[in-house]
Structure 1
Amino acid sequence: MTTQHDMEIEQMDVKTLFLHGDLEETIFIAQPEGFVEYGKENLVCQLRKSLYGLKQSLRQWYKRFNYFMLKINFRRCLYDCCVYYHVFQDGMIILLLLYVDDMLIAYQDKSRIQDLKKMLSKEFDIKDLGAAQKILGMEIQRDRTAERIWISQAKYI
């Protein structure tokens, strides 16, 4: 679709995504090593945010991300819950594809991609990786004049 409609493809990465999810249940953990005070060894810590390794972490991150995307008037694809899109008044569509903490954003015009990146960066701690070159172990090469895109996993072979 990006090749057919000559879309720019930009990439972003969410930093510490597990800390973005709010917990819905009460979870206690043992005090982390190095933080235990003398005489208070029996105390535990109550988590306010999800942490790496919790079964709930990915789900809580996704719920928060989904809520945000719907709040900024994006729709979730009916066939893939990690694909979001927004149709502008001129009929143009911007796409956001999410895989855990990796995102691709596709649109014909970089300015609207930059607008979306700014909104996402205000809400989440995100690293802008620029034009998509590699995602999920796949290398992306593009020849826009020939209207071609190649995806390769040569390093896995």
Structure 2
Amino acid sequence: MTIVQETVIQADVHLLWRAWTESARITEWFAPAAEIEPKAGGKFELYFNPANRESMCTAGCILLQYDEPHILAFEWKGPDPFAETMNQGNLTTVKVSFRPEQDGGTRITLEHTGWKDTEALLQAREWHVDAWRGMLASLKSNMESGEGILCCQ
């Protein structure tokens, strides 16, 4: 039931780590607003609709693991259509692993776990398969384009 997505990005592992763990950088490719406290137990809050911080967000989510620059794990809340299913009780978990490649790129592996076997969660899981694929493509495009603050160390 785990979602696993992987990509190789032609960028330094430390730069990619910063792209995930700095509020000003994650807003360049993932969500338009963010509050991240880069430490275990710190906030990992993304706001996909900054005008309404009650919807389409991960408010209240925290970083579960912060092993710089190798593993980042955080709680995850689903978007509004799946909020009733995903955002009550035990949240799902996303783990992102960063592994330098010999060619200077970095392999990013994303694992989204905690899915229960209910019809509503199966629908939410299917939605997230495409969402994570798109998100990683956005990160890759942003990092490899040489545009924006992410290209600069």
Tell me which protein shows more strand as a share of its residues. 1
The TM-score with structure 2 as length reference comes to 0.40
The TM-score with structure 1 as length reference comes to 0.40
Larger radius of gyration: 1
